[in-house]
Structure 1
Amino acid sequence: MVNNILVIDDDPAVRGAFKLILEEEGYHVREAENGLQGIAMVEADRPDLIFLDLRMPGIDGVETLRRLKALDNSLNVYIVTAFAAEFMDQLKDAHEEGLQFELASKPLSASQIRNIAQVVHIAKVHEGRRANHHKLVLTLYVVSLNPETRRLVEQISAVLAGIYEPGHWVFDVVEVLGMPEKALEKEIFATPMLVRDLPEPVLKLLGDLSRMSSVMAAITTQNVGTGVQTVIV
């Protein structure tokens, strides 16, 4: 469960809105009014999710991101900003350095904030499942479950059942109507698809998914030997 969320933003109204919305869902929310304070709070207690502003006094959000990732590269950081275009070159540099983060535009609605926390929660559940040696975990993020996506979900389930033994695969569908789409400006946040060792029928269906406008993303993880492979389309 995602229990510990940190909001780093110099605007007290923004921090208060995040705190109110997330605490209603049972999350523990801490607030930092600038990057340095946020870094100190992460050093004291690693959060499950960080909402990070870009334009702040002192060090900006991009430098804060670099220092946070230097502390723990696995931190889940969701940059929420109204100034993405202004910081795009810096964000591109950070991406090329290998720093992983998500990006959304302000203002976020209450449902969008809750959805982001839910997605991170599901990812952490999957980490636990991989520890239990599931051979394949597939999560499908759809804008809405319409007849087209329902048919594809049934096809994927049938294919997985035909390839893997019961208990060796997991398939989740997350309806994220209203969630902000991932930033793809200049394609700098597009993740290349890794195809090694995934069964051909699964690859074909994932390829079909990528052409459907109602599908936001399909994310799979697969145990390969002693490691885990991730595929994002």
Structure 2
Amino acid sequence: MVNNILVIDDDPAVRGAFKLILEDEGYNVREAECGEDGIAMAQSLRPDLIFLDLRMPGIDGVETLRRLKGMDDSLNVYLVTAFATEFMDQLKAAHDEGLQFELASKPLSASQIKNIAQVVRIAKDHEARRANHHKLVLTLYVVSLNAETRRLVEQISAVLTGIYEPGHWVFDVVEVLGMPEKALEQEVFATPMLVRDLPKPVLKLLGDLSRMSSVMAAITTQTQSTGAQTVIV
């Protein structure tokens, strides 16, 4: 979620307006009156969103943008100015350098300021969900399913349901019907290794399964980060 917003503008009235509007929406807003101060603030605490003026004393907004992006290319920067035409050549040069930014014209209404923050917030939320996305494919090979095995399989399914969102996990149980050669043909034992990123409740239940004579083969998992691996139980 977007929490920290930095406003870099030499006009205290502009900074005050942004602060009033955004804090009313629950954001933490910091103010900088020049590019140098804004860069120092961004270094001390990474902002989720930066509103940056172009015409300022000292280094202008384009140079401030360049230095901010040099620190962290992923910063979300909105250039807010009434002098876009005056800075057009510099803005084009910055774009050609590969610097990513958005451009908005002053004056911005309260609703426009809120909408910009909301758009960035939604994008950040989607990014966070993608980063936390953990696709799990779990396969249990057993000699045959009996009442005890079924009970633990149901417990594993319940734990996975509580941890992962629908569609982010698959749990398959394969009966090999007393034929270990079938498991060997499928290379179940090809890469024995402990998958440490399995949730601890699942690992505990797998440990319970490993003590059953009806569980003969392995647990295979596939995650987004590690690819396919196998756990011998």
Structure 2-normalised TM-score?
A: 0.58
Q: How far did 1:37 drift?
A: 0.5
Maintained 8 Å contact 1:5/1:28: yes
For 2:94 and 2:81, the matched residues in 1 are separated by 16
What pairs up with 1:167-206 in 2 under 5 angstroms? 167=167
Q: How far did 1:130 drift?
A: 1.2
User: Which residue of structure 2 aligns with residue 120 of structure 1?
Assistant: 120
Which structure: larger Rg? 2
Q: How far did 1:167 drift?
A: 4.0
Aligned residues: 142
Answering whether residue 27 of structure 2 is matched by residue 27 of structure 1, we say yes
Q: How far did 1:118 drift?
A: 0.3
- Report runs of 4+ in structure 1 exceeding 3 Å deviation: 132-135
Q: 1:104 to 1:134 in 2, by over 3 A?
A: farther
Q: How far did 1:133 drift?
A: 3.5
Q: How far did 1:131 drift?
A: 1.9
What pairs up with 1:74-223 in 2 under 5 angstroms? 74-133=74-133, 167=167
For 1:87 and 1:167, the matched residues in 2 are separated by 48
For 2:89 and 2:55, the matched residues in 1 are separated by 14
For 2:13 and 2:134, the matched residues in 1 are separated by 43
1:57-106 CA distances to partner (integer Å, 9 max, x unpaired)? 00000000000001111100000000000000000000000000000000
Maintained 8 Å contact 1:134/1:167: no
The amino acid of 1:104's aligned partner reads A
The amino acid of 2:93's aligned partner reads D
Secondary structure of the structure 1 residue equivalent to 2:18: helix
1:153-188 CA distances to partner (integer Å, 9 max, x unpaired)? xxxxxxxxxxxxx747xxxxxxxxxxxxxxxxxxxx
Aligned Cα root-mean-square deviation (Å): 2.0
User: Which residue of structure 1 aligns with residue 8 of structure 2?
Assistant: 8
User: Which residue of structure 2 aligns with residue 47 of structure 1?
Assistant: 47
- Structure 2 unaligned regions, length at least 5: 136-165, 169-223, 227-233
User: Which residue of structure 2 aligns with residue 155 of structure 1?
Assistant: none
Secondary structure of the structure 2 residue equivalent to 1:5: strand
Structure 1-normalised TM-score?
A: 0.58
For 1:167 and 1:99, the matched residues in 2 are separated by 36
- Structure 1 unaligned regions, length at least 5: 136-165, 169-223, 227-233
Identical residues among aligned pairs (%): 84
